[in-house]
Amino acid sequence: MKLREADPQSQFRDELARVGKTIAPLRPDPRVIGRTAFDGPGSEDMTLTVLLARDRVKEAPSQSLLRIVSSDERRYLGIVDAGPFAEPDSLRAESPILTTVATQEVDYLPRYHGRLSVKLLGEELADGTLAPPRFRPLPNSAVYALEPEETAKVLKVDGDIRLGLATGHEELLVGIPSMSKNVLPRHTAILGTTGGGKSTTVAGLVRQASKAGMAVILLDVEGEYTFLHEPTRDARSVTLLADRGMAPAGVPTELMRLYHLVGRDTTNAAHPNLCPFSLQFARLSPYAAMAMMGCNEAQSDRYLVAYEIAKALLRKLGVFPQKDVSQEEADRQERILLRLDDFERGYPRMELSFLLDVVGACKAKVSSAKGKFEPFHKALKTQEGTAALDLEIKAADLPTHAGSWGKVHSLLWRLFRLKVFDKGATLRYAPMLEPGRVSVIDLSDAGLNVLSSIAVADVLTGIQEEQDRKYRQFEGGKGGPPPRVLVIVEEAHEFLGADRIAESSHLFDQVARLAKRGRKRWLSLALVTQLPQHLPRQVLAMCNNFVLHKLTDPHTISTLRQTVAGVDDSLWSRLPGLAPGQAVVSFGHMTRPVLTSIDPSASKLRMVD
């Protein structure tokens, strides 16, 4: 065969004739930002690679949403979970020539394109619902970026309690819908290492929740939130706020109350609405008291014996139920006693010094050293009181062993010496539950850990009872609907830590009860801690919403992975590297968790060094 000199043009014509059809050049659709790539051996289900021209890369930042229209007409939604990466078109990224270009100041930049790893969120059905994908987009499918409004509709991250802006999206607000019973009342955990930005998140949450008309109660262990009524003056925060079109602002002063224990300091003694409060021993369940004081079995037995004697005496002396009251009131008080659950709270009007006297009298009876016992409590000092006490103690079949009685006595005495029980002004819960009210309970100077635990238990019981009362009234046709309540517990590991489960189990039970009733009663809890690994798993399991700031401990992350649903690998792997103020935010109303840049605090935080 004779070789002919190849004429390229005629060769091309011959080839076209052989193929038998001409294909019109692609008329590029300007909305298509890229195309799906072929799969390789490393391809995984639900993950796609998308290739894009260099000038389209900026349209698909990390975490942005994409629509993929497959050539088989199926439509999919996906999210950029890695990339965009820049890859040279015709050279290997690590080729020597590119190394030379980068290191020898050579004026040559080869052509390159973008590559994304996209996680499929689902297949979009004709009516817009997102279904689990049954197929995979075909290679070379067109990829579109979603408009901001559409992104907002898909992600459903909006809410009137503004938290911040979603990363990778234009001006996409991340918030919590304050009216939804399915979100906050299913409880929240705010987690992150020291300096991750938890307190800033909490400060914002408090102000925004109050603005949304919720009643907010904040158990402030370190006294960080005692200036929330003042706008921030921190120059950096002011600049960052302005960048988001926000201005410094405190919680309106008339809405904020700052509570602290009587005789104990607060970190802001100049607060305009300062409310010292004393603890009511009567609110404290005997079981909680014993656990928190660390009573052993022998001590607990004696404590409970004394407790029963004290109850009988209170009835006999007409302290509770009261003597000389109307029949209606007497009936009401009896009903209270019928409903009383020792595991939830103590006997009404039982003061610490009253029980201390009873224990003292018991100790005196079993002790060999005979001396006259002098009661302390005013009701027992009277002739009638002393006689009644004598009678009860004589009749009682007391466990022996003066040493154990002595120990119970000294444990109670230690509490008594703190001078915070039954000292007049107790916490009034009704005002705390007014819409918009912010009650900061400063426990920074509580000293003994047991004291803060007792205070927290007291507050939780009080709020729960008050909210129950409001619900009963409402259901009985009296009064409006009870307020939506948010209770925030800072340093939650200190109260609910797994290592302190013996002392804190009652507090845990109480929190669990509150959590369970919360949904019906519109009581929501937010637990804040830098040591989530110290929280028992049940505590995290109560929470349905999460704000995850920087977390570095791999063990903690792997534990959380079993609890928090819907956070994909790429977000988990980002947790250790998050900057202060960044968080993975996952709330019940959201389609999926979003990486969020939390707003700086508009109100003043007293930073703890």
Ligand X SMILES: Nc1ncnc2c1ncn2[C@@H]1O[C@H](COP(=O)(O)OP(=O)(O)OP(=O)(O)O)[C@@H](O)[C@H]1O
Binding site for ligand X (CB under 6 A): 192, 194-200, 240, 530, 549, 580-581, 598-600, 607
**223 vs 462, beta carbon nearer ligand X:** 223
Q: Which does 268 bind (CB under 5 to 8 A by kind): ligand X, Mg ion, none?
A: none
**To the nearest whole angstrom, how small is the minimum distance from the Cβ of residue 530 to ligand X?**
4
**To the nearest whole angstrom, how small is the minimum distance from the Cβ of residue 163 to ligand X?**
9
**To the nearest whole angstrom, how small is the minimum distance from the Cβ of residue 572 to ligand X?**
19
**371 vs 577, beta carbon nearer ligand X:** 577
**3-state class (DSSP) for residue 124:** strand
What stretches of 402-500 show up as alpha helix (H) in DSSP?
402-417, 429-432, 449-475, 492-496
Q: Which two tokens stand for residue 5?
A: 């000199």
Q: Within 10 A of 583 (CB to CB), how many other CB atoms are there?
A: 33
Q: Which does 197 bind (CB under 5 to 8 A by kind): Mg ion, ligand X, none?
A: ligand X
Scanning the structure block, which residue is given the tokens 């009873």?
358
**To the nearest whole angstrom, how small is the minimum distance from the Cβ of residue 313 to Mg ion?**
46
**345 vs 574, beta carbon nearer ligand X:** 574
Task: In whole angstroms, give the CA distance from residue 214 to residue 217.
Answer: 10
Q: Which does 598 bind (CB under 5 to 8 A by kind): ligand X, Mg ion, none?
A: ligand X
Residue at shortest CB range from ligand X: 581
**To the nearest whole angstrom, how small is the minimum distance from the Cβ of residue 607 to Mg ion?**
9
Write 37-40 long-range contacts (CB < 8 A, 24+).
37/115, 37/139, 38/139, 39/139
**To the nearest whole angstrom, how small is the minimum distance from the Cβ of residue 455 to ligand X?**
20
Task: In whole angstroms, give the CA distance from residue 172 to residue 159.
Answer: 11
Q: Within 10 A of 327 (CB to CB), how many other CB atoms are there?
A: 7
**392 vs 490, beta carbon nearer ligand X:** 490
**203 vs 306, beta carbon nearer ligand X:** 203
Cis, bond preceding 231 (omega within 30 deg of 0): no
**To the nearest whole angstrom, how small is the minimum distance from the Cβ of residue 495 to Mg ion?**
16
Q: Interface residues for Mg ion in 65-94 (CB under 5 A)?
A: none
**98 vs 219, beta carbon nearer ligand X:** 219
Contacts of 151 (CB under 8 A, 6+ apart): 64, 65, 169, 172
| 8 A C-beta contact, residue 166 and residue 172 | yes
Q: Which does 192 bind (CB under 5 to 8 A by kind): ligand X, Mg ion, none?
A: ligand X
Q: Which two tokens stand for residue 196?
A: 């991750």
| 8 A C-beta contact, residue 485 and residue 185 | no
Q: Which does 385 bind (CB under 5 to 8 A by kind): Mg ion, ligand X, none?
A: none
| 8 A C-beta contact, residue 344 and residue 513 | yes
Q: Which does 596 bind (CB under 5 to 8 A by kind): ligand X, Mg ion, none?
A: none
Q: Which stretch binds Mg ion (CB under 5 A): 16-24, 128-136, 197-205, 212-220?
A: 197-205
**190 vs 282, beta carbon nearer ligand X:** 190
Q: Which helix (H) or strand (E) holds 466?
A: helix 449-475
Contacts of 362 (CB under 8 A, 6+ apart): 302, 305, 306, 309, 393, 396, 398, 405
**To the nearest whole angstrom, how small is the minimum distance from the Cβ of residue 196 to Mg ion?**
8
**To the nearest whole angstrom, how small is the minimum distance from the Cβ of residue 604 to ligand X?**
12
Cis, bond preceding 84 (omega within 30 deg of 0): yes
**412 vs 583, beta carbon nearer Mg ion:** 583
Q: Which does 230 bind (CB under 5 to 8 A by kind): Mg ion, ligand X, none?
A: none
| Radius of gyration of the chain from its Cα atoms, rounded to whole angstroms | 33
Q: Interface residues for Mg ion in 369-408 (CB under 5 A)?
A: none
* Residue type at 513 in one-letter notation: R
Q: Interface residues for Mg ion in 106-145 (CB under 5 A)?
A: none
Q: How many residues does the chain have?
A: 609
**36 vs 556, beta carbon nearer ligand X:** 556
Strands of 193-281, DSSP E: 215-220, 256-261, 274-277
Residue among 510, 537, 536 nearest 525 (CA): 510
- Residue 63 interacting with Mg ion (CB under 5 A): no
**To the nearest whole angstrom, how small is the minimum distance from the Cβ of residue 197 to ligand X?**
3
Q: Interface residues for Mg ion in 557-586 (CB under 5 A)?
A: none
**411 vs 605, beta carbon nearer ligand X:** 605
**580 vs 588, beta carbon nearer ligand X:** 580
Scanning the structure block, which residue is given the tokens 């009870």?
482
**To the nearest whole angstrom, how small is the minimum distance from the Cβ of residue 383 to ligand X?**
56
Q: Which does 240 bind (CB under 5 to 8 A by kind): Mg ion, ligand X, none?
A: ligand X
How many residues sit close enough to Mg ion to count as binding (CB under 5 A)?
2
Q: Interface residues for Mg ion in 198-237 (CB under 5 A)?
A: 198-199
Task: In whole angstroms, give the CA distance from residue 34 to residue 66.
Answer: 10
Work out whether the CA dihedral 493, 183, 126, 83 comes out positive or negative: negative
The DSSP code sequence of 521-581 is HTEEEEEEES-GGGS-HHHHHT--EEEE-----HHHHHHHHHHS-S--HHHHHHGGGPPTT
Q: Give the interface with Mg ion as residue ranges (CB under 5 A).
A: 198-199
